[in-house]
Structure 1
């Protein structure tokens, strides 16, 4: 878990650590990166690192959580489902190094958590369906896993598809699922 206070110094140090991790990821696999490697690249001290993060995985979680901040600051979660999913796909695609690292290091739960929170923030997903809290949780979980699976497949396909193509693949999968399960 990360513990980053709202003060500018802590924010700056966390940003340096995140950038340091990204520099390390350009050189080697996440599983081979040590805290010392991150510290060397980030120019932040060990005490500062451990004041903000418990592990290198926490830096990945922090980076993933930050991905959606610009979107949420500008839009306040008011999108149609199509707009929201396309924007989320584009956001993940623009952070492909992070996405690929999370998938390859078996940390899909971090992507899931960030995406689930993003869907929860979108007012359309909450208000457009007349669902109980339990049904809404299943709905959000299903949407989240569909997107995470689609992005994982995109990585497996060497990132060839566009955001629109991924959205179309996602729609097709949902339609086929509905037809298959509905029989």
Structure 2
């Protein structure tokens, strides 16, 4: 778990710790990175690390949570500005946002911990559905967790594949691929 205070010093030191961990993942196996390695690279004390984080995974959890909250704000602003409804129509801004924020995902892919991003995205999606309850109209409450799991799994799965392919397609193109697939599946059901 992480415990970042809202004071400037705590926020700055947690950013240094993240940058240090990110750099270390390029140099050595994630399993071999110790808290000592991280604090030495970040030039902070062990007490600073443990004041903010319980373990090194928490550094990525914190950064994923922060990034997913920024994603939610970005999507909400985009939907308001361009009158785009929430849901599948938000694929383009989803991929546009991530096209500028790939370092985190690249690191998570490298260390085989994309689950950390998925967990953060579930929380943001849960808030999103709370704001736009009509998106779940007609879905029995027992099924909501499955709907979220399907949305997170497919969104993150496509995102990871896109990044593994070095973002060959533009955000617009990858959104079109996703929308085409969703519509094809929907039309087969009718």
TM range (shorter): 0.7 to 0.9
Superposition CA RMSD, Å? 2.8
Give ranges in structure 1 of 5+ residues lacking alignment. none
**Structure 2 residues not aligned, in runs of 5+:** 80-84
- Contact persistence 1:67–1:91 (CA under 8 A): no
CA deviation map 1:121-161 (0-9, x unaligned) = 32564223313333332222211111111012113323212
- Equivalent residue for 1:142? 150
Give me the whole-angstrom Cα distance separating, in 2, the residues matched to 1:23 and 1:152: 20
Distance 1:72 1:150, change over 3 A: closer
Aligned to 2:107: 101
- TM value normalised by structure 2: 0.78
What SS does the aligned partner of 1:50 have?
Answer: helix
Is the 8 Å Cα contact of residues 75 and 93 (structure 2) preserved in structure 1?
no
Is 2:159 the partner of 1:151? yes
Distance 1:35 1:106 in 2: 19
Q: How do 1:108-123 and structure 2 match up within 5 A?
A: 108-122=114-128
* Counterpart in the other structure of 1:85: 91
1:129 counterpart = 2:103 = no
For the 8 Å contact 1:119–1:125, the answer to whether it is kept is: no
How many correspondences in the alignment? 182
TM-score by length of 1: 0.81
Contact 2:88 2:179 in 1 (8 A): no
Runs of 4+ displaced beyond 6 Å? none
Matched residue SS, 1:154: helix
**Equivalent residue number for residue 35 of structure 1:** 35
Cα distance in structure 2, aligned partners of 1:122 and 1:77: 13
Displacement after TM superposition at 1:77 (Å): 7.3
